[in-house]
Amino acid sequence: TGPATVSPTGQPTGADQARMAQSGSYLTDAQGTRLPDTDHSLKAGPRGPVLLQDHHLREKVMHFDHERIPERVVHARGAGVHGVFRSYGTAANVTKAAFLAEDVETPVFVRFSTVLGSRGSADTVRDTRGFATKFYTSEGVFDLVGNNIPVFFIQDAIKFPDVIHAGKPHPDREIPQAQSAHDTFWDFVTLHTEAAHHTLWNMSDRGIPRSYRTMEGFGVHTFRLVNAAGETTLVKFHWKPKLGVHSLVWEEAQIINGVDPDFHRRDLYDAIEAGAYPEWEFGIQTFPDTPDQTFEGIDLLDPTNIVPEELAPVQPIGLLTLNRNPSNFFAETEQVAFHVGHLVPGIDITDDPLLAGRLFSYLDTQITRLGGPNFPQIPINRPHTPVNDMLRDGFHQTAVHRGVAPYRPNSLDGGCPFTAGADAGAFVETPVRVPEATKVREAPESFNDHFSQPRRFWLSMSPVEREHIIHAYTFELGKCYEQAIRERALQVLANIDPELCAGVAAGLGLPAPEPTVPLADVEPSPALSQIGQTWPTD
Ligand code: HEM
């Protein structure tokens, strides 16, 4: 901020002009030239033709013509707000991340979203919700780009274009907009049975949250934490809403979609405006970083798996409070650019093959969406730390770099002879041993169990939640045109649970098939049910 720079006429100039634009005492064009009138084109007489020489007309319309940028290829519909994260220090033994040390406050920007709908679609559709958090830490930006569902449809990012093509509106008629009730979606998730778990969560009440304020959030992948002694721990990240987890019922969601398609963003903004700041506790499940990267037989690199909280309790490590609405939706919510590769010392990735593809995808898509490689300079994306990145030029470059030697070390710009590893505060990739292996396009054997985790979810549901799930599958599959897809979906459900399959089959008027795999012998996990949640801790 600092003192405003003002021109001799009392108008702000330079950076302050951008900040204060649209509140000055007189109007100018983009070059700062004062304008007398912006309501009339320049004409040859009041009833005559408009003149091409009207620079103001051309500039104004030209700028308007280019006001829209591409919407996000997924998660286009969203609402972002500011807040603060305060750490408890309880993770300090497992990570050296400065923002997780005791009692550190870090500014954040959080964007909630649906996945499939376009920017103008309704809020209360049945879908997964994004829960992306940008932490402006003292060591650089850390982004946790998660969802409200702890598992994903696919295990390998190479299938992401496929699952999104299947979930987006049909390519011929561009319908349906944002619901899963269509043939391509069900075709995909029944042909790729690894999707059974995520689909079951979508068909549960989690697919229609009551409010962003009452959603859990999950980092989904397993991450690797590193402490000051260099010891590593595998973790899964959780957000636990202080208001508890609540959903709409299907009929409410339908009515709200019509009456107030902005229901979720309005609810969030109104709550913050009223001072009812939503809060989430940040938590981690920790697992020993063993060479096989499994826990109690669960493959931690498979993003279709959860680890039941009864086996690995979520330990609270900090509190997120959302307390400020955006002042400019475009500048903040639309231009924010999250990326799973934005990491800080003490937080590292694992070899989850879905995460690997994401590390490429976010930067790549943002080059198109935000018009070139300089989007980290957009105010909402700027780290709250000094930047000395040696990156130069490019579309929409706003920095005026000084010096003659944009490389390091150099002997021309005053040195900075940094040698690798000399800076103790640097992000250094954890030296994880890569097993000797042959290049293959294959998934590990352990990725082949597609039904035991959805079965655990189903067995953990209360009777009313089960009723809702059966109703959701029946409704959505009832919209499919292809009978073969409905039948294949029933086969997937039979492999999860006979009661679930029988309920949906009855609703569709079809016979219930027998399972083709033995039903998994799994214990329910009460923490998966929204009924009788024991969180929050206090
Ligand atoms: C956007 C979550 C998998 C590509 C997003 C957003 C979230 C998210 C929350 C919205 C960010 C925002 O609000 O701006 C996840 C989760 C995943 C996952 C939790 C799985 C665990 C993937 C994969 C890919 C991918 C596998 C690609 C290989 C994208 C792209 C965007 C996006 C291209 C748009 C980003 C932008 O335009 O800024 N994702 N995603 N995602 N995701 Fe993912």
Told to judge if 325 belongs to the known catalytic residues of this protein, a careful annotator would answer no
Tell me, what's the pLDDT at 416?
60
Of residues 388 and 288, more confidently modeled = 288
CA distance 513 to 93: 51
Whether the CB of 335 sits within 6 Å of ligand 1: no
Split at pLDDT 50, 70, 90, the class of 177 is: confident
CA distance 175 to 181: 10
Tell me, what's the pLDDT at 418?
56
Is there a binding annotation on residue 19?
no
Task: Estimate the share of the chain in helix, then strand, then coil, as percent rounded to the nearest 5.
Answer: 30, 15, 55
pTM: predicted TM-score of the whole model, two decimal places: 0.94
Question: What is the arithmetic mean of pLDDT over 431-446?
Answer: 92
Q: Ligand 1, residue 357: give the atom nearest the CA.
A: 28
Q: What percent of the chain has pLDDT over 90?
A: 85
φ, ψ of residue 316 to 5 degrees: the values are -65, 135
Least confident of 65-74, 119-128, 166-175, 371-380: 166-175
Q: Ligand 1, residue 157: give the atom nearest the CA.
A: 26
Mean pLDDT over each residue of the chain, to the nearest integer: 93
Question: Residue 202: pLDDT above 80?
Answer: yes
Told to judge if 448 belongs to the known catalytic residues of this protein, a careful annotator would answer no
Split at pLDDT 50, 70, 90, the class of 6 is: very low
**Set 56, 147, 197, 238: catalytic member:** 147
Cα(407) to ligand 1 centroid in Å equals 32
Q: Whose CA is nearest to atom 15 of ligand 1?
A: 146
Split at pLDDT 50, 70, 90, the class of 222 is: very high
Q: What is the pLDDT of residues 340-380, one digit of tens each?
A: 999 999 999 999 999 999 999 999 999 999 999 999 999 99
Say if CB 305 and CB 155 are below 8 A apart.
no
Ligand 1, pocket-test mutation among 69, 71, 72, 152, most atoms within 8 A of CB: 72
Whether the CB of 74 sits within 6 Å of ligand 1: yes
Question: Residue 98: pLDDT above 60?
Answer: yes
CA distance 360 to 363: 6
Burial category of 208 from C-beta neighbours within 10 Å (exposed 0-12, middle 13-18, buried 19 and up): buried
34 forms bridges with which residues in the sheet? 28
| Residue closest to 56 by CA, chosen among 32, 80, 84 | 32
Question: What is the arithmetic mean of pLDDT over 310-320?
Answer: 97
Q: What is the pLDDT of residues 503-522, one digit of tens each?
A: 999 999 999 999 999 999 99
Q: Ligand 1, residue 111: give the atom nearest the CA.
A: 13
| Residue closest to 263 by CA, chosen among 214, 213, 211 | 211
Whether the CB of 157 sits within 6 Å of ligand 1: yes
Say if CB 447 and CB 155 are below 8 A apart.
yes
Cα(73) to ligand 1 centroid in Å equals 9
Q: What percent of the chain has pLDDT over 70?
A: 93
Question: Residue 452: pLDDT above 60?
Answer: yes
- What residues contact residue 248 under an 8 Å CB cut-off, 6+ apart? 124, 205, 208, 209, 210, 256
| Residue closest to 106 by CA, chosen among 329, 345, 383 | 383
Is there a binding annotation on residue 358?
yes
Is there a binding annotation on residue 266?
no
The count of other CB atoms within 10 Å of the CB of residue 235 is 27
Is there a binding annotation on residue 369?
yes
Q: What is the pLDDT of residues 240-274, one digit of tens each?
A: 999 999 999 999 999 999 999 999 999 999 999 99
Of residues 410 and 119, more confidently modeled = 119
